[in-house]
């Protein structure tokens, strides 16, 4: 766990970053919610503040008085142990409280947390306060990523094609081999899961042994060019490539390409937070559902790695890459490399593993125990972080999870094969 001075600095950085991510928004943008699975920027700003108020200031602050009792209902996401949450699909209807009031709320709670940190060393609850504060910071980093993914979806339905941040000047990228290099792993008994030497979510624990059969892992993620070849070979019309639920979904929704892809004058383009851009064949394919990633892998004569395979392969690599701090907010082409590359950043990589508990997992008691454990059903694991993740928030053991039909996240794939 970070020390109190370290947590104070990180608290200021993370909280300021949420505000900075909204600097280019107009007031009308703060309430956008284009589908039920997304949330408006204003709600993300308020909910992350509510988290600090609810789980630190209310139970552990000295004589703290609630900012607004209605916020417990309006900005509670899913903590039934705290109260009844406001309907998620209707968050965009909350024109009040206003944007300015939400910012005042943030400033007030920030001040209360800073005051609490001034006296934390002298209190009997010091360790619990610091533990919850660090959890709250990682919670806010999750919502910073969601703010951007949700905003991108809401912007893309607007015929005016709003631009979140202007595009970078054109850069010359070196070419890269068209085919990935396959890296062999012997398998055997390996140890996965997070230790206790740094922050981790409860679903990353306990650290445990697992047996792996020998396998190979692709050196790079699936690229746009790879996926375009799948489309041109009739990938969305070949039922033998798809899981039954995936085939039903693409038939129902009329999917013929990844989210945000479109054609203009027989050329492929895609919408991004930096506006419309020509599809770069050598950049990682993005906004794939699990079903699409799985069908592509089958077409390619490969499969998705398990999360244990992915973590075992990635554990020896530094967490570095194209993250939100680069402010590109879009997957980028990697330079020529035969080594495993782009394991972190750019796109979350779907695995073949269902989101289930590790052996011996026990959720925390109370409402904070609802953070991860109760979602261990019907979802799939992704690894590695994305171009809108905070680099300080990502690690090899991090387990992200979404439903297999979700594709508005920055999700891609890396292939594996059994030996």
pLDDT value at 369 more than 80: no
pLDDT value at 337 more than 80: no
Question: Which pLDDT belongs to residue 197?
Answer: 80
Structure tokens at 143: 């919502």
H, E, C per residue of the chain: CCCHHHHHHHHHHHHHHHHHHCCCCCHHHHHCCCCCCCCCHHHHHHHHHHHHHHHHHHHHCCCCCCCCCCHHHHCCCCCCCCCCCCCHHHHHHCCCCCHHHHHHHHHHHHHHHHHHHHCHHHCCCHHHHHHHHHHHHHHHHHHHHHHHHHHHHHHHCCCCCCCCCCCCCCCCCCCCCCCCCEEEECCEEEEECCCCCCCCCHHHCCCEEEEECCEEEECCCCEHHHHHHHHHCCHHHCHHHCCHHHHHHHHHHCCCCCCCEEEECCEEEEEECCEEEECCCCCECCCCCHHHHHHHHHHHCCECCCHHHHHHHHCCCCCCCCCHHHCCCCCCCCCCCCCCCCCCCCCEEEEEEECCCCCCCCCCCCHHHHCCHHHCCCCEEEECCCCCCCHHHCCCCCCEEECCCCCCCCEEECCEEEC
Question: Which pLDDT belongs to residue 3?
Answer: 83
Question: Which pLDDT belongs to residue 177?
Answer: 52
Question: Which pLDDT belongs to residue 409?
Answer: 97
DSSP tag of 223: B
Query: What's the rounded mean pLDDT across residues 194-198?
Result: 86
DSSP tag of 55: I
pLDDT digits (tens, 9 = 90+) for 73-83: 999 998 988 89
pLDDT digits (tens, 9 = 90+) for 322-336: 999 999 999 999 776
Between the CA atoms of 407, 352, 206 and 83, what dihedral angle is there, to the nearest 10 degrees? 30
pLDDT value at 365 more than 80: no
pLDDT value at 172 more than 80: no
Question: Which pLDDT belongs to residue 239?
Answer: 98
Query: What's the rounded mean pLDDT across residues 332-360?
Result: 92
Fold that domain 182-418 belongs to in CATH:
3.90.1580
Question: Which pLDDT belongs to residue 171?
Answer: 56
Confidence of residue 174 (pLDDT cuts 50, 70, 90): low
pLDDT value at 120 more than 90: no
Query: What's the rounded mean pLDDT across residues 381-394?
Result: 97
Please enumerate in sequence order all residues whose Cβ is within 8 A of that of 227, keeping only pairs 6 or more positions apart, or say none. 258, 285, 288, 296
How much of the chain exceeds pLDDT 90, in percent? Answer: 85
pLDDT value at 97 more than 70: yes
Mean pLDDT of the chain: 94
CA 250-253-256 angle, 5° bins: 55
Question: Which pLDDT belongs to residue 336?
Answer: 66
Please enumerate in sequence order all residues whose Cβ is within 8 A of that of 123, keeping only pairs 6 or more positions apart, or say none. 129
State how far the Cα of 190 lies from the Cα of 184, in Å rounded to an integer. Answer: 15
Question: Which pLDDT belongs to residue 2?
Answer: 79
Q: Domain residues of the chain, as ranges?
A: 4-156, 182-418
Confidence of residue 135 (pLDDT cuts 50, 70, 90): very high
Question: Which pLDDT belongs to residue 121?
Answer: 76
How much of the chain exceeds pLDDT 70, in percent? Answer: 97
3-state secondary structure of 104: helix
Query: What's the rounded mean pLDDT across residues 179-202?
Result: 93
Q: Is the pTM of this model over 0.75?
A: yes
Query: What's the rounded mean pLDDT across residues 194-217?
Result: 94
Query: What's the rounded mean pLDDT across residues 96-106?
Result: 98
CA–CA distances in Å: residue 107 to residues 39, 49, 218, 322: 21, 9, 46, 30
Question: Which pLDDT belongs to residue 62?
Answer: 82
Tokens 């909910």 identify what position?
A: 47
Question: Which pLDDT belongs to residue 189?
Answer: 98
Query: What's the rounded mean pLDDT across residues 34-42?
Result: 97
Question: Which pLDDT belongs to residue 119?
Answer: 85
């Amino acid at each position: 766990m970070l020390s109190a001075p370290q947590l104070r600095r990180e608290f200021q950085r993370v909280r300021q970053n949420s505000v900075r991510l909204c600097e280019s928004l107009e007031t009308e943008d703060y309430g956008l919610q284009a589908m039920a699975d997304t949330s408006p920027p204003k709600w993300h700003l308020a909910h992350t503040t509510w988290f600090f108020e609810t789980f630190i200031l209310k139970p552990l602050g000295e004589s703290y008085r609630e900012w607004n009792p209605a916020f417990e209902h309006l900005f509670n996401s899913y903590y039934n142990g705290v109260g009844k949450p406001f309907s998620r699909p209707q968050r965009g209807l909350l024109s009040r409280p206003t944007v300015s009031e939400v910012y005042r709320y943030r400033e007030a709670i920030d001040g209360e947390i800073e005051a609490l940190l001034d006296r934390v060393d002298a209190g009997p609850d010091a360790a619990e306060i610091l533990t919850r504060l660090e959890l709250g910071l990682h919670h806010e980093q999750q919502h910073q990523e969601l703010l951007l993914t949700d905003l991108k979806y809401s912007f893309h339905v607007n015929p005016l094609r709003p631009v979140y941040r202007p595009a970078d000047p054109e850069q010359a990228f070196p070419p890269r081999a068209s085919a990935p290099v396959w890296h062999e792993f012997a398998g055997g008994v390996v140890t996965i899961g997070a230790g206790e030497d740094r922050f981790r979510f409860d679903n990353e624990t306990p650290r445990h042994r697992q047996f792996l059969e020998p396998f190979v892992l692709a050196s790079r993620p699936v690229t746009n060019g790879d996926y375009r070849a799948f489309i041109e070979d009739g990938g969305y019309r070949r039922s033998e490539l798809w899981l039954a639920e995936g085939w039903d979904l693409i038939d129902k929704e009329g999917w013929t390409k990844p989210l945000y892809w479109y054609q203009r004058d027989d050329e492929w383009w895609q919408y991004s937070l930096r506006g419309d851009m020509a599809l770069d064949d050598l950049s990682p394919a993005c906004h794939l559902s699990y079903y699409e990633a799985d069908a592509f892998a089958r077409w390619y004569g490969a499969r998705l790695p398990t999360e244990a395979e992915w973590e075992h392969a990635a554990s020896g690599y530094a967490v570095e890459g194209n993250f939100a701090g680069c402010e590109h907010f879009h997957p980028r082409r990697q330079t020529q490399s035969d080594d495993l590359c782009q394991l972190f950043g750019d796109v979350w990589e779907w695995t073949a593993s269902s989101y289930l508990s590790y052996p011996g997992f026990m959720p925390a008691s109370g409402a904070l125990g609802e953070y991860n454990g109760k979602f261990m059903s019907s979802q799939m694991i992704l690894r590695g972080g994305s171009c809108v993740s905070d680099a300080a928030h990502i690690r090899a053991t991090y387990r992200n999870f979404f439903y297999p039909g979700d594709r508005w996240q920055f999700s891609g794939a890396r292939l594996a094969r059994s030996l």
